[in-house]
Amino acid sequence: MKLESKVPTGPIEKSWDKHRFELKLVNPANKRKFKILVVGTGLAGASAAASCAELGYQVEVFCVQDSPRRAHSIAAQGGINAAKNYPNDGDSVWRLFYDTIKGGDFRAREANVYRLAQVSNSIIDQCVAQGVPFAREYGGTLSNRSFGGAQVSRTFYARGQTGQQLLLGAYSALMRQVGAGAVKMHTRSEMLDLVVVDGAARGIITRDLATGKVERHAGDAVLLCTGGYGNVFYLSTNANSCNVTATWRAYKRGAAFANPCYTQIHPTCVPVTGEYQSKLTLMSESLRNDGRVWVPLKKGDDRKPQDIPEAERDYYLERKYPAFGNLVPRDIASRAAKQMTDDGRGVGKTGLSVYLDFADAIKRIGLDKVKEKYGNLFDMYHHITDEDPYQQPMRIYPAVHYTMGGLWVDYNLMTTVPGLFCLGEANFSDHGANRLGASALMQGLADGYFVLPYTIGGYLTGNKLPKVTTDHKAFTEAEGSVNARTKALLGANGKKAPSVLHRELGHVMWNNVGMGRNAKGLKEALSRIPEIRAEFWKNVSVVGSGEDFNQTLERAGRVADFLEFGELLAKDALVREESCGGHFREEHQTPDGEAKRDDEKFAHVAAWEYKGEGQEPARHTEPLTFENVHIAQRNYA
Amino acid sequence: MNITLKVWRQKNASEPGALVQYDVKGIVPEMSFLEMLDTLNEQLLAKGEDPLAFDSDCREGICGMCDLIIDGQAHGPDKGATTCQLHMRRYKDGDVVTVEPFRSKAFPIVKDLVVDRSAFDRIQAAGGFVSINTGNAVDGNNILIPHDKAEKAMDAAACIGCGACVAACPNASAMLFVAAKVSQYALLPQGQPEREKRVLAMREAMDAEGFGHCTNEYECEAACPKEIKISNIARLNREFLRATLVSE
Ligand SMILES: Cc1cc2nc3c(=O)[nH]c(=O)nc-3n(C[C@H](O)[C@H](O)[C@H](O)COP(=O)(O)OP(=O)(O)OC[C@H]3O[C@@H](n4cnc5c(N)ncnc54)[C@H](O)[C@@H]3O)c2cc1C
Ligand code: SF4
Ligand code: FES
């Protein structure tokens, strides 16, 4: 397998313009002859589908929810970055590029990240034009706030509902095309396999989740915009239906899976309380703008927070990282919280949380201002915990949040399978080993509005694509394997709900492959996961049939894929003998407990190639070079 | 704590449904209502029985997917909250709770508690957008929007498309949902060029989907998890009237 990044040569500022110019164009009259299948309607999928339909391509779109508007992007709270420099605080495309590369601990591809920073400003303009109600200053201009990992205020937001508003913008653009007949929308449809004909992606197999009908769809290109795989940990901040199925099936059909071990643990989530929990709720990182993080100085201090005097509190982020304080990047804040609780200074019943305190902010800017900025987040916290954060500090703890790994893509966002593109959180490309806040929304929309619409043209004109219909034997074969799997799931006839086995996998993943990882734990995980997988196929209980609406069957299929994928994740983590970003190998740390990278051995992307059932996958590497940003130890002190 | 549930079970749209009783044991107050249903489903699956079908996804009150009528109330007893935000500390040991789907002719039942709300998507496709193509937008700060206007637009834009307004309304009207979208755009400069066209098209699509008329029952506002104000319906009516005048 060859990993050709296709990054243009020459100065980085010119790369994208040069590349765009060199990409062949599709004649407008020919565009309607091409059909593009878009899987996923989050920011990446909805924006790509709307843009491609605008250009004149035939577009068919699929999502698992009952409406494209419910894609998981809807849940993003905090905001979206852009290098507008409206606050005149020294921001620039170059600085956004620099912060993102450094924030990702030098494990992302420079040219991609530069392009992301470059198009960031157009994203805001596009969304404003769509009627996204971004927060405004009294004079009518756009407001900004700051976010973890940055010293400038470059984050645009719509209360604590930025993802919702951006997604509704992209959804409305998509609905406009649906109304115009340019997009055919398939809701409650799950992609269960990829169809490859003569080495190129030419279609997908889906299951209509309402009727159970298995369908074949042929096209000239397939875009996977299916989001992240954080739910491999069972508990995460992701929505229930976030899964790895589409990308995992593509992997099995030849798409390389890059850096699966790069998982982001978000520092400010509602802590775990019990076994019954189905998800962990994120409290936006923007809270760290005004909230101060602390734990008691003394171990086991179980006084009420109000009763602990200033002198007996440890504002550990401000103490350890004076330059960034509470706004250090997520990996740093998460690990620091873990250190505090490991040290026995955690708070709450379980001892597995730290305080996020707004008392000072309320004194400084007033209750009303705090309400205006964070009100809905406070309400959300109150709903979940029954504690009033206006009266007492919130309790927070890190939780699995975002996955930087994903299908390997080149500069055109194409995977190692020609014609198969991957956008948004589902690909690996722009965040390296750690994603800075407010940059996933940016990446999803950059990919969908401003990158893919160009690069897809280059693919469609540059390649001979013979007509393929759904009677082709590759479709028959793929549909056959989907049916066989459904049959196997229904036939297991066991005693355990898929969620029970998913939880077992989650425990292993969190304990051994979570915030801190070491060789021993990873090897343990690698022996436990196949055991759980074996138990799954023997003992899963899927009642009902494949011919109608069957949520247990849906769930079981996704868990089955997590049970395979989790193993690859652990393998990747074991081989990467360094700490970088959200991947913290305990064997590799500096004397003061910070992540220690090994650039000599690991300044590369690791991309895994599927070699067949029961075979060891092959690990390939794409070397990363840093010509524009000087590679250095990350230091936020 | 233990709860007795009376749940609507229905195989599909064409077969009749009925309330079925289940006793759920081992509930803790911190559980969400949906986590309590998960627990029941795990228990049913362990016995090889068909679990309850219900929709949910984000489980934090934003995707709009969860949709239960609990003891006659859309999204249950808490004000300004979705079903997924309801917690079991609301209940006490031995309570009997009835759970039904969002009922409306325009939302056909798929199975048990799951309904088809795609009518909302079709209303949006009729005009719930600003016709702007990618790649030609002016700088965001060229469109100035006063803070208060932006906030008002945001209040309306907060609708999550859950359909509780329809389920709560005795006429199964979709007015609050449509009003929220129309208001958002009517308040913003970006919405002006298609202002008349939009409201006419969305209202027409709404009627075509078989939603009922608004007779000012105020049930929608009471049920709305995002507390979308009924004043939006007044604005919708004004917009509609204005559009019929302007466009003639
Ligand atoms: C709680 C939370 C808060 C966040 N806050 C922020 C923030 O403030 N700023 C920021 O930049 N980022 C934030 N993020 C991250 C960001 O929201 C996501 O990374 C981003 O929205 C992902 O978008 P996407 O389009 O790639 O995928 P998604 O929005 O996850 O969409 C995936 C789509 O794929 C579909 N799908 C999945 N599998 C299949 C299948 N097999 N067949 C068919 N369809 C399928 C789904 O139906 C869905 O439509 C947050 C994330 C979370 C969880
Ligand atoms: S108006 Fe309220 S109740 Fe109606 S769909 Fe929107 S959020 Fe739901
Ligand atoms: S599950 Fe998303 S709003 Fe309830």
The model's pLDDT over A119-161, given as tens digits with 9 standing for 90+, comes to 999 999 999 999 999 999 999 999 999 887 788 999 999 988 9
Q: Give pLDDT, residue A375.
A: 86
Residue A242 has φ and ψ, to the nearest 5°, of -65, 135
Average pLDDT over residues B105-129: 98
Residue A297 reports pLDDT greater than 90: yes
Q: Give pLDDT, residue B248.
A: 61
The Cα–Cα gap between A281 and A460 comes to 42
The Cα–Cα gap between B157 and B165 comes to 15
Q: State the distance from the centre of ligand 1 to the C-alpha of B203, rounded, in angstroms.
A: 31
Residue A297 has φ and ψ, to the nearest 5°, of -65, -40
Answer yes or no: do B62 and A74 touch at CB < 8 A: yes
Helices (H), ranges, A92-207: 93-103, 110-130, 162-179
Interhelix angle B231-247/B175-187, rounded to 10 degrees, is: 70
Chain A residue numbers with beta carbons less than 8 Å from the beta carbon of B116 are 66, 210
Answer yes or no: do B144 and A141 touch at CB < 8 A: yes
Atom from ligand 3 closest to the CA of residue B160: 3
Distances (CA, A) of A132 to A39, A136, A158, B232: 24, 11, 8, 18
| Average pLDDT across chain A, whole number | 96
Chain B residue numbers with beta carbons less than 8 Å from the beta carbon of A548 are 11-12, 111
Residues B70-106 pLDDT 10s: 999 999 999 999 999 999 999 999 999 999 999 999 9
The Cα–Cα gap between B223 and B241 comes to 27
Chain A residue numbers with beta carbons less than 8 Å from the beta carbon of B30 are 273-274, 276
CB B183 within 8 A of CB B229: no
CB A512 within 8 A of CB A566: no
Average pLDDT over residues B38-45: 96
Q: Give pLDDT, residue B34.
A: 98
Q: Is the shortest distance between the CB of A39 and ligand 1 below 6 Å?
A: yes
Residues A451-490 pLDDT 10s: 999 999 999 998 999 999 999 999 999 999 999 999 999 9
Distances (CA, A) of B5 to A323, B11, B21, B52, B232: 55, 18, 6, 12, 36
Residue pairs between chains A and B whose CB atoms are closer than 8 Å? 228
3-state secondary structure B156-209: HHCCCCCCHHHHHCCCCECHHHHHHHHHHHHHCHHHCCCHHHHHHHHHHHHHHC
Answer yes or no: do B184 and A130 touch at CB < 8 A: no
The residue whose CA has the least distance to atom 4 of ligand 1 is A76
- Using alpha carbons, select from A104, A274, A232 the residue that is nearest to residue A512: A232
Please provide the DSSP assignment of A192-257 as one string.
EEEEEETTEEEEEEEEETTT--EEEEE-SEEEE-----GGGGSSSSS-TT--SHHHHHHHHTT--E
Judge if pTM exceeds 0.90: yes
Residue to test with chain A: of B31, B129, B151, most A Cβ within 10 A: B129
Share of chain A above pLDDT 90, in %: 92
Answer yes or no: do A131 and B140 touch at CB < 8 A: no
Nearest-Cα distance to chain A for B158, in Å, is 8
Distances (CA, A) of B72 to A196, A383, A454: 50, 21, 52
Q: Which ligand is nearest to the CA of A404?
A: 1
The Cα–Cα gap between B179 and A221 comes to 39
Q: Give pLDDT, residue A78.
A: 87
Helix (H) or strand (E) run with residue A80 in it: strand A80-81
The Cα–Cα gap between A210 and A207 comes to 9
Closest chain A residue to B47 measured between Cα atoms?
A495
Q: Which amino acid is at B36?
A: M
SS3 at position A84: coil
CA angle A136, A371, A338 (to 5 degrees): 105
Nearest-Cα distance to chain A for B42, in Å, is 5
The structure tokens 């394997």 sit at: A481
- Tokens found for residue A509: 């993943």
| ipTM score assigned to the predicted complex | 0.98
Residues A348-398 pLDDT 10s: 998 999 999 999 999 999 999 999 888 888 988 998 999 999 999 999 999
CB B153 within 8 A of CB B184: yes
**Backbone Cα Rg of chain B:** 20
For residue A220, give every residue at least 6 positions away whose Cβ sits within 8 Å of its Cβ, in sequence order, or none: A34, A35, A36, A202, A419, A460, A465
Distances (CA, A) of A473 to A215, A470, A479: 14, 8, 10
Nearest-Cα distance to chain A for B111, in Å, is 7
Distances (CA, A) of A583 to A125, A353, A509, A536: 35, 21, 13, 28
- Using alpha carbons, select from A158, A47, A588, A558 the residue that is nearest to residue B151: A158
The partner residues of A526 in beta bridges, in order of sequence, read: none
Q: Which residues of A119-151 are buried (b: 16+ CB within 10 A; e: fewer)?
A: bbbbbbbbbbbbbbbbbbbeeebbbbbbbbbbe
The Cα–Cα gap between A165 and A520 comes to 44
Residues A79-92 pLDDT 10s: 999 999 999 999 99
Helix (H) or strand (E) run with residue B6 in it: strand B3-9
Q: State the distance from the centre of ligand 2 to the C-alpha of B154, rounded, in angstroms.
A: 14
The structure tokens 């409206």 sit at: A86
Answer yes or no: do B129 and A175 touch at CB < 8 A: yes
For chain A, what is the total number of helices (H) and then of strands (E)? 18, 19
Q: State the distance from the centre of ligand 2 to the C-alpha of A41, rounded, in angstroms.
A: 21
Is residue A533 annotated as a catalytic residue, yes or no? Answer: no
Interhelix angle B231-247/B195-208, rounded to 10 degrees, is: 110
- Tokens found for residue A533: 């997988």
